[in-house]
Amino acid sequence: MFLHSFVDIALKLQTSKNGENINLEVKNWKGARSFFPITGPNNSAFKQLKAYFNEKKPFAYYFNRNGGVSIAEPMRGSLKNVFANDQAMEALYEVNEELFKSIPGVSRWENVRDMASNGSTPKVLDDFLEMLIKE
């Protein structure tokens, strides 16, 4: 059996948290990956991310420590880069405006983009990223 160095078990599990379903995507990657590109034939990661936002149910990406190495923090950086991109942020905001408005200080997609573009990430955005990407 041929084994790939990047094994993606990508188990989509339904679990229950306080009586509500939560989508949990489990990844067993050796390194961080990007959610880009957001258009074109190779945009499956962004499409999946957008689909989770569109479901309007709680979700999280859970990254296993592969060989003791955590990639959760680099993946939060990848997601922050998505939020800093005008086209990507607007697309995500349009499918789940209420989730983004739950971040203090957010009333428009541009607010999230500006937070993500800031060299020093505001704590409210860090907390939001930690809610979406866990280990």
pTM > 0.95: no
Cα 131 to its chain centre, rounded Å, is: 9
Please state, in angstroms and rounded to a whole number, the distance separating the CA atoms of residues 129 and 3. Answer: 31
Residues 6+ apart with CB under 8 A from 43: 36, 37
Report yes or no: 103 and 125 within 8 Å, Cβ to Cβ: yes
Please state, in angstroms and rounded to a whole number, the distance separating the CA atoms of residues 99 and 82. Answer: 16
Structure tokens at 31: 């390194």
Please give the chain's pLDDT, 135 residues, in tens: 332 323 333 333 334 445 556 565 655 666 667 677 677 777 888 888 999 999 998 888 887 777 777 888 888 999 999 999 999 999 999 999 999 999 999 999 999 999 999 888 999 999 999 999 988
